Structures are given as structure tokens and as C-alpha cells.
Structure 1
Amino acid sequence: MDYNMKGKVAIITGGGKGGGIGYGLSTAFAKEGVNLVVTGRNVKKLTDAKEELERLYGVQVLAMQCDGGVEEQVAHVVEETVKTFGRIDFVINNAQNSASGVPLAEHTKEQFDQAVYSGLYATFFYMKHCYPELKKTKGSVVNFASGAGLFGKPGQSSYAAAKEGIRGMTRVAATEWGPDGINCNIICPLVMTDALAKWKEEYPAVYEQTIKGIPAGRFGDPELDIGRTAVFLCSEGAKYISGECITMQGGSGLRP
């Protein structure tokens, strides 16, 4: 399906190459002819993404190292994006860092801050600084939350707190920004990543048991499942969808 996005501009946080959701998102938007700004902390992952996406899909990619928890750095990314492309159409807040597997009672403030700053604050900063440009283009925001927050996964307290904050903030933005023509939505994914593939190799029995709990019988694909859904949510055909939380977990994330 052609979504008529050629020449539009998307900022994708955590969009570098490295076997995660971010590069799947970058690929899905690049295939639609969308010029990209990919951000993250790892310069090599960003430059590798820039080289491959430009070579394969003929789009222009601006790769920028950025700590999303630092407002000045985010403001600089937005400024450089406008300077380079003259517009911002889509903001995809994917990046997140957290101490996984640590029980709530054992969490340190530093670990809690890590999740909140890299996820909730970063999402807030990008939305805040991109808003004037999104208002001009009547653009779209896609933020990422998690089943960790929806279903209270053990060992994920700081991660879940950040993700639930993102969900709440996104719904408020959908209400406040709807009159400006900006739609804002949330995806809660269950995705096959390089890290998960390694876990599958090391613990095949546990993996098989996990798969039994997913009616679709597999984990999601970063590009074909998650990336394509994000593209749709940014398309003209989805402009009336706003404030929604889409649980993409192969039928295992059922909720009211």
C-alpha cells in the first residue's frame, strides 16, 4: 500500500541499526520514502543505519547522537532537523533504557531515574520541542509503552512506571493537540530482537514454553509488524485514530 509519504520527515529515537524495534521502524518509514532523523547514544549504530537506509531506499538520513533525557540535546536535534529538512511530520518515541529484572524493593534511585529519564522525560522533551513543527504539518506521534506496565510484569517496576507515564501523557496530548490536527497513539509491542534470539538459543525450553502463551505462535517482527503499524498510524487513513493504545502481542495482550 502506498501511503503517499514520500518527502515527509520522521524523527525516530533509538532508530539505529542493531536488531531492535528502532531499526525496524526506520526501515518501514524509509520504504515509504520518508526522510529520517535517527537518534541514539551509539554512534556506530546510527552511522550504519544512515549508510544502509540511504543506499537501499534512496532517502536522506540525518544521524544524531543524543541522550533523550537531556532537554538541551533534544532541542538541538529538533533544531537541526528543521534546518536540514524544513519540516517535521512524524515523531516516533521508541528509545528506552532500564534496569530489567530488579525487584522493586531492590531498585536504587539511580536505576529508577535511568528508566524515567531515558523513556518518560525523553518522550516529553521530543513531543514538547516538536509540537510547533507538528502543528504546521498536522503531523503524528507514535509512542511506545509495554505490557510490563499493562500487566505488572515482575522485575520491571521502573520500566513499567516510565511506560505507564508515557501512556498517560500521550492520551493528554491527543486531547490537547487534536484541534491542531495532530494525532497521538501508543504501541505496546512484543518483538523478536537480537537479544531475544540469543535468549532463544540459550534457553530453548523456556522459549518454547513462552511461545505457547502467544496465540499467534511467534514474536512480532520489528519492521513488518511493528514498523508497518507505526507507518499506518502516521498515514492520512489513520488521522481519526488518536489517544489509542494498540497492544501488539500476538493475542497474548488481551485487555478490556
Structure 2
Amino acid sequence: MSLPRTPSFRLGGKRALVTGASSGIGRAAAVALAEAGAEVTLVARSVQPLNALAEEMAAEGLTARTRPLDITDIAATEAAVEAEGPFDVLVNSAGLARHAPATETELADYDAVMAVNLRAAHFLTRAVAKGLMAAGKPGSLINISSQMGHVGGPNRSVYAASKHALEGMTKAMAIEWGPAGIRVNTLCPTFIRTPLGEQTLQNPQARDWVLSKIKLGRVGEVEDIMGGVVFLASGASALVTGTHLLIDGGWTAE
């Protein structure tokens, strides 16, 4: 009897689209996918950080191209995906947080968070899926959610609402597109040391609260999410869809 073989984590020949690629989790995800062999298209609003990342990656022998884009511009995003796709892998890492007590939520902040975290995510994921279906190709679509898509937290009613909604959206899309071989999942980090995460971690009281919740006793680094991204993007997760991968140090174990 022949031994079973571990499915490959390699992504050679795959094309990946990574939004929010100019910093933090998106930047790390782009590097991880490129290290696994994918050709990566880097998307963010700011041109200079994208070009700098592409140059750094090229110096390491990694393949990346840049595409400055504001994903809240739905028409422009759909046009770009249609023109430059199909993409075998999507990592939607663009995100926004504006924390405040629920009684003090500003309408403009609510709309801004939902525009990026939910509205843009929906239409971007849909655009990539439509390109795959038109080409008759399978794919892996990954939305960067959060542990706050599974729990709540002080001053996070809007952010948590956007991520809980993203989780539901992902499940529904997975059901619809499964027959086409398109997998849709979320990756849910705890607090990661990024420019976005530092909004909380710079506050000593908030940092103590975070550390009290993380059972492993430390905040995350971007490297902590890189293996999970490659797993969900690759054939190693071929039967994984409509679910979430929590990288939260045990926060949600309670």
C-alpha cells in the first residue's frame, strides 16, 4: 500500500491579489504568498509604500507587481479585477477601525468602517469570484477578519459589527461558489503589532486588557499570520471553505 502524501503548500503558477498590501498584515501576506511561489499583485491606495515593497521583494527574488487602487471605489475595483484577472488567490486585508463607545459613535465613522470592511470586501470578493467562474477556474478567497468577528470588546461596536458581518458574508459566498471549486474563508487574528494594532497597544490600560485575554501572553507579530495565509491559499486546505482560522493566542478559547 502506498503512503499518503501531504498536499503541497506551494503556489507556483498561481496569481494572487492582496489588498492593504502597503503595511501590516497585508504586507506580510503578500510576502508569504510570493515566498510560496505565487505572482502577487499588491494593492493599496498609496503608491510609494507599494513600490518600496515591490522593490524589496524583487531584491529577494520574489515576483510582485503594484496596482494603486482605492477598493471603496467599487467601479474602479471591478474594472481592475476584470482587466487584470483572473486571480487564483485573494487576500483581502484592507481594513479600517475607528473605536469609540457605542453611545458616542459618529455616523461618519460608522459609514467609513463599513465602506471598507464590508461593502468593499463584498464587491471585491465577488469580482474575483466572477473572474474565476468566467475562466472556469477554482480559487481560494481569503478575507482578513478578526477575533472581533467572534467576540465583542469595549469601544468596538462598529468594528465588531463589520467583522461579524464579514464572517456571515464569507459563509454565504462559500455556499454559493463551492460547486465552482471556489473556496472562501476568513483568517481572524488577535491584536497584531501593526500600525492599526498600535492604536490600541500604545494605551497601557488597553494593552493590559489585551494581554489578559491572550492565553499565550503576548500580542501577535505579522509573522504569526503568514503560515495561515499560505495554508488557506494552497492545496493543503483543499477541503476547507466557509469557515475561519483563528490566530488569536487562545483569546476565544473561553
Q: Above 0.5 in TM-score? A: yes
With the shorter chain as reference, the TM-score category is 0.7 to 0.9
Give the alignment of 1:24-43 within 5 angstroms.
24-43=28-47
Residue of structure 2 equivalent to 1:70: 73
1:76 Cα deviation after fit: 2.9
Give the alignment of 1:204-223 within 5 angstroms.
207=207, 210-223=210-223
Residue of structure 1 equivalent to 2:243: 244
Instruction: Work out the CA distance in 1 between the residues paired with 2:34 and 2:228.
Output: 14
Does the CA contact (< 8 Å) of 2:21 and 2:43 recur in 1?
yes
Instruction: Work out the CA distance in 1 between the residues paired with 2:179 and 2:210.
Output: 43
Does the CA contact (< 8 Å) of 1:141 and 1:182 recur in 2?
yes
Q: Of residues 3, 8, 12 in structure 2, which corresponds to 1:6?
A: 12
TM score, norm. by length of structure 1: 0.87
Instruction: Work out the CA distance in 1 between the residues paired with 2:110 and 2:198.
Output: 27
Residue of structure 2 equivalent to 1:173: 173
TM score, norm. by length of structure 2: 0.87
Identical-residue share of aligned pairs (%): 28
Residue of structure 2 equivalent to 1:46: 50
1:103 to 1:212, Cα distance in 2 relative to 1, 3 A? closer
Does the CA contact (< 8 Å) of 1:69 and 1:121 recur in 2?
yes
2:94 maps to a residue whose letter is A
Give RMSD over aligned pairs. 2.2
Instruction: Work out the CA distance in 2 between the residues paired with 1:65 and 1:165.
Output: 27
Structure 2: state its 5+ residue gaps.
1-5
Q: Of residues 111, 114, 130 in structure 1, which corresponds to 2:112?
A: 114
Residue of structure 1 equivalent to 2:3: none
1:22 Cα deviation after fit: 0.9
Does residue 1:96 correspond to 2:99, yes or no?
no
Structure 1: state its 5+ residue gaps.
none
Structure 1 runs of 4+ with >4 Å offset: 196-200, 202-206
Secondary structure at the aligned position of 1:57 is classed as: coil
Does the CA contact (< 8 Å) of 1:40 and 1:66 recur in 2?
yes
1:177 to 1:198, Cα distance in 2 relative to 1, 3 A? closer
